[in-house]
Amino acid sequence: MALGSWTRFKGSISGSANKSLDFGYEWMVVDNADRITNNRSTVKVRMWLYRKNTTWQTYDLYDRTSNITIDGNPENQTTRYDTRNLLNLTRKYCGLDTDVFPKGVVREHVVNHNTDGTKTCVISATLATAVASMGTVRASSTVPLPTIPRASSVTATNADIESATSININRYSTAFTHTLRYAFGGLSETIATGVLTSYGWTIPSTFYVEIPNIISGTCTIYCDTYNGATLIGTTSTTFTVSVNSTANKPNVSATIIDSNTNTVALTGNDQSFIKFISNASFSITATAKNNATIVSRKIICGNLSSASASGVLNGVESGIFIVEATDSRGITNSVTYEKTLIEYVKLTLNANIYRTQPTNNQIAMVYSGNYYNDSFGSQSNTLTVKWRYKEVEGNWTDYAPLTPTITNNTFNNGENPIILADNFDYKKRYIFEIVVQDKIYDYVIFEKVVPKGKPSLAIFKDSARFEGDIYLPLGAKITTFDDTGIVTEQGVFSNFQFHSGVMHSCGHEFMYMMGNFRKQPLEIAVKIPTNFTITEAKVTIYHAPIKWYNDMEGRSGWGYARKLKLYKDNTTNYYPEAVVMGTFLPPTPTSTEITGAFGTNGYTPSIPSEANHNLEETTSIDIKSNLSSGLTLLRIQPSDSITSEPGIEEDETALKNSGWCWAVINVFGFQK
């Protein structure tokens, strides 16, 4: 119910007058300042009579003692009533309408609420009368009074330590004041007293101690609400207290020097680094802030890294050093150091030493490599190339110098091979060594054994053989005496064979379940490697007749296949379909005829008889254009279909048109 508005309750009249009259009371809570301040309600109650019709005209003009009880507190009053003045369908109130209630008042009582502001009370009213037709006139009900807001509610905004949070209070009376308190980890203290509706509070630095290993925590604010010196109640709220990750980054620094004394001598200082060669010695200093601790350190240089506080990165490849430190709260800070990097080119050597002819005494040399052709800072790089040799069982000669041609950061022997000498006996073996040196590498060695000279072709009494590597000029080939190429630029001459498996029936069969004839093919799966070049491909069919018997009819004869043609399978789905305990359906083939493979009308063998029933064969034309690398399926089957013969079993018809066959394909070509 709304404050200051009446709520009606109907009671009862036990006498016969209830046919024309109703009795009850109305109650109301007064809206005043005392209500919230003192947690109590002023409740007013007034009795009423209501005329439903004009049947009864009752009255009692003698003083009677009536009663109104509010929350267990009865109060008597003197009342009189006269319904003769109560018009039909009209309600009149005791203490207000004297024409119907010459005597009587509106009852008022102060009801104290529970500490949480709630209250339920019983209100009853009795109108005293000596009129028999009225009987007992009474009304009673338990009513919930409007709840009185008590302790103020409180909120707080998230904040960083050493920054301010805004505490906001929603109070229900201007008379209320508040004491604010906090609890955080093991800390608790009063923030302020006498607070009205808001307060700005700076989070103290002591909070750092409570969260040394996490970035944030939860703080509880307690708000004690007072009315004067009386504590109305306490409410609370929580907010997040954080460590500012920017202001609390750990301090980190490092000393980084080149600890390779050789490279320091070349650069002239320990702050310049030679790529691949210098060793970076480092020491990391890191301190955490506000009760955190350092949990990790790291240094990164290109692909090199270390998680130690100090150490060495060997063979650095970058001049950029990133130093990181992470504290126990997970806050990371980094600093970058940029050092001078000398872009050294590693010294390399590629060489070949060989006889200029298989059986002469001349040996030649070619060499090349990479070389850093620049200054390191204090010193410039230099390049030295030299060589020596010995017989395999002999002693080394002294080194002899070589003069390289240097271009930018590369070097070589020049435009033409170097002829070392013409007196290296081709019947002996020699070991040769080339050494290159610069300021970084003492030496890079190439060593090779030059074997005895051998002729490319050794001819014997009844045979000949090649010695060593054979090099064919473009377009050249190795052939047999009839000029058949065995080895050409396309590869080695090779032959692949693929066949149809064991011999089996080829022609027709009758499918009793389906009630029709089906062709019986020969199938060949041809798999050509990707590095194979086809020069010829032909299919050969081997055919033998079938001797058949029909004992029930007393007939027999010879069957043979007719008009066999070659087809290329175009099937894309190779899987069959099967039903458990049911049918098995193989893939449905789709094929394209290879035109004229066995002639225009296909292959039909000789008509067999008792005197002529031999194994025959036939070979197709070249079908290489129909093959390619990968898998190709070939199918050999009759080109014509057959139908039933009157009075002849279908099986007999099928056998008459089938032979016992096998097929093979020979694929010739060159394989690299």
Helix then strand then coil, % of the chain, to nearest 5: 5, 50, 40
Model pLDDT, residue 471? 53
- Integer Cα distance of 82 and 358 in angstroms: 152
H runs (alpha helix) in 488-603:
none
Superfamily (CATH H level) for 251-342: Immunoglobulins (2.60.40.10)
* Ranges of the chain with pLDDT below 50: none
Model pLDDT, residue 465? 61
130: which strand partners? none
The distance of Cα 345 from the centroid of its chain, to the nearest Å, equals 41
pLDDT in tens, 151-208: 999 999 999 999 999 999 999 888 899 999 999 999 999 999 999 999 999 999 999 9
526: which strand partners? 632
Model pLDDT, residue 2? 76
**Residue reference for tokens 């799966």:** 525
633: which strand partners? 525
> Of the CATH numbers 3.30.230, 3.30.450, 2.60.120, 2.60.40, which one belongs to the domain with range 7-145?
2.60.40
- Integer Cα distance of 540 and 617 in angstroms: 7
Model pLDDT, residue 458? 57
Identical fold for domains 251-342 and 494-671, yes or no, is: no
Fold classification of 494-671 (topology level)? Jelly Rolls (2.60.120)
The sheet carrying 153-156 orders its strands as 153-156, 164-170, 198-202
Q: What does the domain layout of the chain look like in residue ranges?
A: 7-145, 153-242, 251-342, 350-450, 494-671
- Check: CB of residue 180 under 8 Å from CB of residue 190: yes
- Check: CB of residue 108 under 8 Å from CB of residue 43: yes
Model pLDDT, residue 487? 75
Q: Minimal CA–CA distance to 223: which of 187, 199, 251, 203?
A: 199
195: which strand partners? 178
Architecture field, domain 350-450:
Sandwich (2.60)
Model pLDDT, residue 397? 95
Architecture field, domain 153-242:
Sandwich (2.60)
What lies within 8 Å, CB to CB, of 317 at 6+ separation is: 275, 276, 301, 302, 303, 304
Query: How much is the pTM?
Result: 0.56
- Dihedral, 48, 50, 54, 56 alpha carbons, nearest 10: -50
- Integer Cα distance of 388 and 401 in angstroms: 9
> Beta-carbon neighbour count of residue 471 at 10 Å?
7
- Integer Cα distance of 253 and 287 in angstroms: 9
* 62-88 residues labelled b (16+ CB within 10 A) or e (exposed): eebebbbbbbeeeeebebbbbbebbee
